[in-house]
Structure 1
Amino acid sequence: MKTMLFSILAALLLFVPNAAAHTYISETTPQDGSTVTENVQQVVLTFEGKIEEGSTFKVIAADGTAYTPQSITLVDGVLTGTFEPALPNETYTVKWDTISQDGHPLSGEFGFTVNAPVEEQVIEKEEESTEQEAAPSVESTQQANDEDAEKSTSPLLLVGGLLVIIIIVSIVALAKRKKA
């Protein structure tokens, strides 16, 4: 009888919604998959909730060159990396590693392409050296991150599968016990 109650409790737990306190990325600048026609000196990752110090990211060009931000700031779930000089025209993948508020490590990636006019880059670099100002920032846009949602349900599916196996074994054991 205890086995049957345990099985029922386990089955009920399968239907409890995922209440994990993981924090996933909600917005990036530049936007995932976008082609940016301005100089990119900042990459901004905005998360749904708070993330902890020690969260970081790097930008990797299609040729494998890795660009580490000159500085990274974290304010209220917004992770900002600054690059000096601006990222050259190229296709990039941003790989991020964060620590969610509940202490779990999370990671992911997104990509974008920089295709700024070369003449403007030279002019802006000259202006920067005389005025010591940063290049204009890139527009922020919303993105859906299906990869993160998929990662958050994987452990739930594993636990659910294990619970189904336990329920089946419990039913078989009860059936054998009644026959004996």
Structure 2
Amino acid sequence: MRMYNHQNTSDYRRKEAITMKKIVIFLIAALMMMTTQVSAHSRLVDSSPKSGEIITKPVQEIAITFSANIEKVGKIEIKDEQGTNIPVSKVDAGGTTLKAILDKPLPNGAYTVNWMNIGEDGHSLRGDFSFQVNAPKEEPKAENPGQPKAGEQSATQPTDSQATSPAADGQSNTPLFIGIIIAVILLAVIVTFIIRKKR
């Protein structure tokens, strides 16, 4: 009778151990399925600019990177400090990236980005982040005061009219004019002397 009870107890414990193993295996499998399903959902892993970042160079593109592929649809909305929408010329979505290209670089100030996309599994995602632009302003280049502008002539350089002025011409012809007068006087004196000698 005691041997019979001992055998029944052993069989019961063996069945109980098998049942516990099955339960543990089932729980592990269920946990793995849940983990795989959660990891398959797309989620934001990076952005450019980053959330809270202060950018010191012109910004004309917003890019968001996800952990898994997304559908070729998506939306990015950018607002300034006053809540005014910033014009976006193009939005590209595909692979793991959602990207917005702006019409022109953002001026200095604080901005908020609202985004939305759909993962390949059909799961819808949306979110937002903020950043600030503080790019140095370019100063206008000063003109060189030592060089005259195009079309202007330096005051120290003589013009063509100055180089060929009448005064300059008169000064250069004076010696020749004096020489002619002296020659005429000498010729007159010689002729007068010859005439008087003949008489």
Normalised-by-shorter TM-score class:
0.5 to 0.7
1:105 aligns with 2:124: yes
Q: Which has the larger radius of gyration?
A: 2
TM-score by length of 1: 0.56
SS in 2 for 1:85: coil
Percent identity of equivalent pairs:
33
Higher strand share: 1
Please show how residues 70-81 of structure 1 align to structure 2 within 5 Å: 70-81=89-100
| 1:44 partner letter | A
Q: Could you give the per-residue CA deviations for residues 25-68 of structure 1, whole angstroms, max 9, x where no partner exists?
A: 11111111100011100011111111112211111112101124
Which is bigger in relative contact order (C-alpha 8 A, separation at least 6)?
1
RMSD (Å) for aligned C-alpha atoms = 2.6
Among residues 48, 51, 65, which one is paired with 1:32 in the alignment? Answer: 51
Deviation at 1:73, TM superposition (A): 1.5
Kindly indicate whether the alpha-carbon contact (under 8 Å) linking 1:89 and 1:114 is maintained by their aligned counterparts in 2.
yes
Among residues 74, 92, 99, which one is paired with 2:111 in the alignment? Answer: 92
1:139 maps to: none
Deviation at 1:14, TM superposition (A): 8.6
Higher helix share: 2
Q: Which runs of no fewer than 5 residues in structure 1 stay unpaired? A: 1-7, 124-180
Q: Following the alignment from structure 2 to structure 1, what is the Cα–Cα distance between the partners of residues 42 and 107?
A: 31
1:61 aligns with 2:80: yes
Aligned length: 114
1:118 aligns with 2:122: no
Q: Following the alignment from structure 2 to structure 1, what is the Cα–Cα distance between the partners of residues 85 and 30?
A: 42
Please show how residues 132-147 of structure 1 align to structure 2 within 5 Å: none
1:166 maps to: none
Among residues 40, 46, 50, which one is paired with 2:69 in the alignment? Answer: 50
SS in 1 for 2:104: strand
Structure 1 ranges of 4+ moved more than 6 A: none
Kindly indicate whether the alpha-carbon contact (under 8 Å) linking 1:33 and 1:111 is maintained by their aligned counterparts in 2.
yes
| 2:111 partner letter | Y
Q: Following the alignment from structure 1 to structure 2, what is the Cα–Cα distance between the partners of residues 98 and 111?
A: 18
